[in-house]
Amino acid sequence: MKKINKLLARMMGVALWIGIIFLFLFTPNVTQFFKKESLNVFMWSGIVDPKLFDEFQKETGIHVNVSYFGGNEELIVKLLATKGYGYDMIVPSDYAVQFLIDHNLLKELDKSHLDFYEKIDPVFLGHYFDPENKYSIPAEWYVLGLGINKNYFKQGLPLASWATVFDPNIMPQNIGLTNDSRETINLAINYKYGKLRAINGHEVKEVTKILQRQKQHAEAYTDFRGDFLLEAGNCPVVVISNQYAWKSVQENEHLEFVIPKEGTFLNLENYVIPKTSTKEQEVYKLMNFLFERKGQEHNFNEYSWLSTRKDADYMYSIPALKDSIETIRAGKAQLFRNVLTDEQVNDIWLAVKGG
């Protein structure tokens, strides 16, 4: 009898742990059972003030469950594993949207339910990953540039060029770099070959060498703290998005944000609906709410959210952001693309980071 009781106890323990693992993996699915009118949103952290979701609930009665991902790769892996079940709206970047469309994971949008669509700046519409915006709504943007601490350059500022962070002859000793493997590799390809394109085996080796030489000058690889590296004086130059640079530049006269003369890269974050969601009407209500000018200006002030609305004039009195939008309008900002396989990206990044 004691042996049977021990066996039952072990089986119950195993069942409990399986249940806990299931809850962690499929939390969005579970939460739907507890709230009849609810939406499950999967997005980047730190771009929308959670208070806005509370306001949305007060206004509509719809509760929003938000979970966060740390990168597009994480988002893609989870969407492939779940087929999108348990999510009602997600916020992927441009090249990830293309991947999700190609894998038949997104629902076509009915724009007749979107009261803001005509207010989106046309420069953010009709890009390669969704030419007719059948599946995606551009919600936020940023461009990459160089953050410069002018105190380090008594004899004149460095070149406003990507060579400043790729050419070992002019690179400062300590530079800050983005930790996004795909973005960093794409920047290197664009620098080496003058445009972003697929590369062969020999060219993969050349790009790897460029990034390995660059690593010798790297103080840190970071996606979110390039502004801190500048302000703290750790790096005289960092690769940084205008989204994270503009406040530091505004508050510190010895800092500057410049867009390289060769042009730059534009990143778009987009609202999409997984094909498996059955709550598109509620999602359209949330999209309309999040696109209200008042809320977008609030997110700009609190989280540096860069709106895609064409009437977001509150942003363009800031030189770093005015220069950025003018660069986009001039056609000197291209989007990141999936020009490499995942295996190529992983091999290059391992050789750089592990070398």
Q: Percent of the chain, pLDDT > 70? A: 90
State which amino acid sits at residue 37.
Answer: E
Q: Say yes or no: 169 and 92 in one domain.
A: no
Q: Rounded to an integer, what distance in angstroms lies between the CA atom of residue 100 and that of residue 272?
A: 10
pLDDT value at residue 3: 47
Structure tokens at 19: 């249940």
Q: CA-to-CA distance for 12 and 195, rounded, in angstroms? A: 59
One domain, residues 163 and 240: yes
Q: Do 37 and 136 reside in the same domain of the chain? A: yes
> Mean of the pLDDT values across residues 319-341?
94
Please give the torsion angle defined by the CA atoms of residues 187, 190, 193 and 195, in that order, rounded to the nearest 10 degrees.
170
Give residue 38's domain range: 33-141+268-317
pLDDT digits (tens, 9 = 90+) for 129-188: 999 999 999 999 999 999 999 999 988 889 999 999 999 999 999 999 998 898 999 999
What gap in Å lies between CA 33 and CA 132, rounded to an integer? Answer: 35
> Does residue 219 carry a pLDDT above 90?
yes
Measured CA distances, 279 to 177, 188, 276 (Å): 40, 42, 9
* Three-state secondary structure readout of 218-260: EEEECCCCHHHHHHCCCCCEEEEEHHHHHHHHHHCCCEEEECC
Confidence at residue 156, expressed as pLDDT on a 0 to 100 scale: 86
Mean pLDDT of 294-314: 95
% of the chain at pLDDT higher than 90: 80
Q: Are residues 91 and 45 in the same domain?
A: yes
**What is the predicted pLDDT for the residue at 16?**
56
| pLDDT at position 31 | 46
Q: How confident is the model at residue 70 (pLDDT cuts 50, 70, 90)?
A: confident
Q: Is the pLDDT of residue 62 over 80?
A: yes
Same domain, 216 and 246: yes
For 327-334, the CB contacts below 8 A with 24+ separation are 327/143, 327/259, 327/263, 327/264, 328/123, 328/143, 328/266, 329/123, 332/259, 332/263, 332/264, 333/143, 333/263, 333/264, 333/265, 333/266, 334/190, 334/196, 334/263, 334/264, 334/265, 334/266
User: Would residue 168 count as lying in a domain?
Assistant: yes
Query: What CATH number does residue 60 fall under?
Result: 3.40.190.10
Q: What is the pLDDT of residue 11?
A: 54
In-domain check, residue 228: yes
Whether residues 233 and 344 fall in one domain: yes
> Which amino acid, one-letter code, is at 338?
N
In the 8-state DSSP scheme, what is residue 306?
A: -
Q: How far apart are CA 267 and CA 308, in angstroms?
A: 12
Is residue 126, in this structure, part of any structural domain at all?
Answer: yes
Residues 340 and 197 in one domain: yes
**Using one digit for the tens of pLDDT, what is the confidence trace for 234-278?**
999 999 999 999 999 999 999 999 999 999 999 999 999 999 999
Q: Give the per-residue pLDDT at 13.
A: 55
pLDDT greater than 70 at residue 27: no
Q: Is 99 helix (H, G, I), strand (E, B) or coil?
A: helix
Decide if 215 is inside a domain: yes
User: H helices of the chain, where?
Assistant: 2-25, 27-34, 50-60, 72-82, 94-102, 181-193, 201-215, 226-231, 242-251, 280-290, 293-303, 319-329, 342-353
Residue 83 has what pLDDT? 93
What is the amino acid identity at position 298? H
Give 51's contacts (C-beta < 8 A, 6+ positions apart). Answer: none
pLDDT for 32 equals: 46
204/164 same-domain check: yes
- Residue 90 domain-assigned (yes or no): yes
Provide the pLDDT for residue 322: 96
Is pLDDT above 70 for 14? no
| 260 in the same domain as 188 | yes
Same domain for 218 and 281? no
Answer yes or no: is pLDDT of 211 > 60.
yes
Question: In this structure, is residue 340 part of a structural domain?
Answer: yes
| Whether pLDDT at 12 is above 80 | no
In this structure, is residue 261 part of a structural domain? yes
Specify the pTM: 0.86
Nearest-10 crossing angle of helices 319-329, 242-251? 150
User: Does 24 map to a domain?
Assistant: no
Q: pLDDT value at position 281?
A: 97
Q: Collapsing DSSP states into helix, strand and coil, what is residue 116? A: coil
pLDDT recorded at residue 33: 41
Residues 108 and 148 in one domain: no
For residues 225 and 340, membership in a common domain is answered with yes
Longest pairwise C-alpha distance within the chain:
86
Task: Please provide the average confidence, as pLDDT, over all residues in the chain.
Answer: 90
Number of domains in the chain: 2
- Helices 201-215, 181-193: axis angle to 10 degrees equals 110
First to last CA, the chain: 59
- How many CB atoms neighbour CB 312 within 10 A? 19
Classify 131 as helix, strand or coil: coil
